[in-house]
Structure 1
């Protein structure tokens, strides 16, 4: 598929005009029919996300159902099974990625869309004659960590489990009435239930396990005309596996009771059951043998110090906000190297002189906030930075040497994180009543020599000088100050972040006048 065509169709599918979306949907169907080779996964993800937002933009329940059916029948335009499976894989991933952004006005239409997607996927398996290879592709779709059972879209997983057996039963009855139902033998049904057996053996969420048991496993024997003895034998084998957690074994045992007594199976079915159980146990062993997060790091202290590795990928956007300056060069850091002042601290004679450094030194306000040491309102990353800051001060005060640790703490990146912690501590002092733009303190960035010649509107603020003025500068007269102020009236100090100035202005009184709604 051509990338330019795909990009244009994606823009059209997300249009506000219904006619534009319908035209793009027809063009996309034609594009799928013309696709001869293997489709690109990235292009397919883009298309599926655009189709998701087409459903998002569609109003009226009847129209939503019609569009959802048309969207999910697009897979029939592909000739190869690999492209059809890729379509459903990317569609489920798109739904999973966007599930967290659903609001109450669109939840119902997305729940309907998931139900129709499950029915379309089962129809695809029937068109493939319930082939074992197709059923293995179905297993990969279900157990995909970026798809249905993503930890960030549990609602999607609940809806998938609750609708699977219902749609399976409806499909069997509908296709049987049309004489289009392909034979679903015991081996195929066993492979169809294999991903759910795997989920029952490995899931940690009790709510998901209860839903899986209630809506899928306990209803294994309720499908008309489908032999279930192979699935019952697999449940019997798994319920006695000691590697499965007790609650999971209990769920499997309850499902086995609903299936009834197991009968003697054919040798071919027994071999298939053994193969499925071996496959599930091998995956469980591989999952158990994976090192934990703590054991994966060779040096726990180094892993905690290195902020590049400590911040997970899912918080990459937050890391941009956390850093005060994204430049990693040494010149961009305003923080100096740490100086050992342990002797002065022991003697109680250490007093940092701001005038000697011309307000260019780094200021740490942790001592100012000693009365409120709790970090409960800080984020996870800033709590880690606060811990590192306390560790750094402890090492300096006690005179202990840890060259590797101090080298990491002296990095410009870490110094900027400490500066950000100080700014958040300032915000916790509730300075909104005293300082202008106090809510924008987190936007303060360091200023470099190269940026000194930049226009004032683009120039960043010098943190050290700003904080020094907040603590020590004497408020000057404001242009808007109250001329006839009473001697005992409280002054209201305002700090101008743009010019690093402090001034006093009168407090603005809130109006008690309330306007009527019809004004």
Structure 2
């Protein structure tokens, strides 16, 4: 899309019942949209955006959604792999700048926009949005860690997952929860042990890892997946959670899933569930959602 068309999109977005605050935000968003691969321009625009977002001004959910829609299209128009990787990280890092009172809404707004726009993503653009989801999840978790797992923020993060990507709602493309299942343990591990060198496996590091696991509320972070593994209408979704996440050896090592529970997760029978007919319609697409390395 040309810069003229992109500019028109942003103007339309800004005119669509938007507050002065969000119009101001999209002044910076426009620069990201029109030059997503121009690093100096994008860096300056994101710096301004972070500064504005860090102000202790509460924004309603709708304003956060409109902002994320603009940021979604900044990724849409970003063409080359390295700029895409940098932009995904930059957008994820916005969660480190958001004031506490806006964190939960900013989390939910991201998932709402992803759910609305996901089916429009063509296969040429899919990988960069899978990467964006991965980076956003990591930085959401990192913010929670930096806030020492503040109960209000943690609850907001979990509720955002339950309301949208892990709701089981038929309006949410299965590609979103499938990808989230694929990456969640990876991003939990990366977040928890970010400051420990992977090549250092001495006894002291093992003690550090154990301490980190002990102070991380892993049960709460995994609970939305456990709930969906029991309540999802689609059998493919239930089984994917059980086999690809809840049976992950890392969860067992961290003490979240005991051997007996793991066996229950992987062997429970769901043959009589009403979701099987729907599952047949979705089965052809399962292999497409293998996550983004």
Within 1, Cα distance between the matches of 2:238 and 2:65?
A: 29
Aligned to 1:37: 57
Within 1, Cα distance between the matches of 2:218 and 2:166?
A: 22
Could you tell which deviates more after superposition, 38-47 or 148-157?
A: 148-157
Q: Would the alpha carbon gap of residues 43 and 115 (structure 1) be closer, same or farther in structure 2, given more than 3 Å must change?
A: same
2:136 pairs with 1:97? no
* Alpha-carbon shift at residue 13 of structure 1 (Å): 3.3
Aligned to 2:195: 175
Q: Would the alpha carbon gap of residues 59 and 198 (structure 1) be closer, same or farther in structure 2, given more than 3 Å must change?
A: same
Determine helix, strand or coil for the equivalent of 2:109: helix
Give a deviation string over 1:340-365, Cα, whole Å, max 9, x none.
xxxxxxxxxxxxxxxxxxxxxxxxxx
* Alpha-carbon shift at residue 189 of structure 1 (Å): 2.1
- What is the aligned residue count? 237
* Equivalent of residue 64 in structure 1, options 81, 84, 87: 84
Aligned to 1:190: 219
Within 2, Cα distance between the matches of 1:118 and 1:77?
A: 15
* Alpha-carbon shift at residue 18 of structure 1 (Å): 4.1
* Equivalent of residue 157 in structure 2, options 116, 129, 138: 138
Structure 1 outlier segments of 4+, above 6 Å: 178-182
> Which runs of structure 2 are paired with 1:490-505 in the superposition (5 Å)?
none
| Contact kept in structure 2, 1:130 and 1:184, CA below 8 Å | no
Q: Would the alpha carbon gap of residues 32 and 142 (structure 1) be closer, same or farther in structure 2, given more than 3 Å must change?
A: same
| Contact kept in structure 1, 2:166 and 2:225, CA below 8 Å | no
Could you tell which deviates more after superposition, 123-132 or 94-103?
A: 123-132
Give a deviation string over 1:268-295, Cα, whole Å, max 9, x none.
xxxxxxxxxxxxxxxxxxxxxxxxxxxx
Structure with greater helix share of residues: 2
* Alpha-carbon shift at residue 254 of structure 1 (Å): 3.4
Q: Would the alpha carbon gap of residues 126 and 177 (structure 1) be closer, same or farther in structure 2, given more than 3 Å must change?
A: farther
Q: Would the alpha carbon gap of residues 4 and 167 (structure 1) be closer, same or farther in structure 2, given more than 3 Å must change?
A: closer
2:135 pairs with 1:124? no
5+ long unaligned stretches in structure 1? 237-250, 258-519
Give a deviation string over 1:437-468, Cα, whole Å, max 9, x none.
xxxxxxxxxxxxxxxxxxxxxxxxxxxxxxxx
| Contact kept in structure 2, 1:96 and 1:150, CA below 8 Å | no
2:40 pairs with 1:28? no
2:215 pairs with 1:156? no
* Alpha-carbon shift at residue 100 of structure 1 (Å): 0.5
2:283 pairs with 1:254? no
More relative contact order in 1 or in 2 (CA 8 Å, sep 6+)?
Answer: 2
Within 1, Cα distance between the matches of 2:34 and 2:170?
A: 30
Aligned to 2:69: 49
Q: Would the alpha carbon gap of residues 41 and 147 (structure 1) be closer, same or farther in structure 2, given more than 3 Å must change?
A: farther
Within 2, Cα distance between the matches of 1:226 and 1:168?
A: 11
Give a deviation string over 1:34-84, Cα, whole Å, max 9, x none.
x2132222221111111111111112112111111011101222332x312
| Contact kept in structure 2, 1:129 and 1:183, CA below 8 Å | no
Provide TM-score, normalisation by structure 1.
0.41
2:46 pairs with 1:11? no
| Contact kept in structure 2, 1:184 and 1:226, CA below 8 Å | yes
CA-based RMSD of the aligned residues comes to: 3.1
Give a deviation string over 1:149-180, Cα, whole Å, max 9, x none.
55342111110111101222233332334999
Q: Which has the larger radius of gyration?
A: 1
| Contact kept in structure 2, 1:162 and 1:216, CA below 8 Å | yes
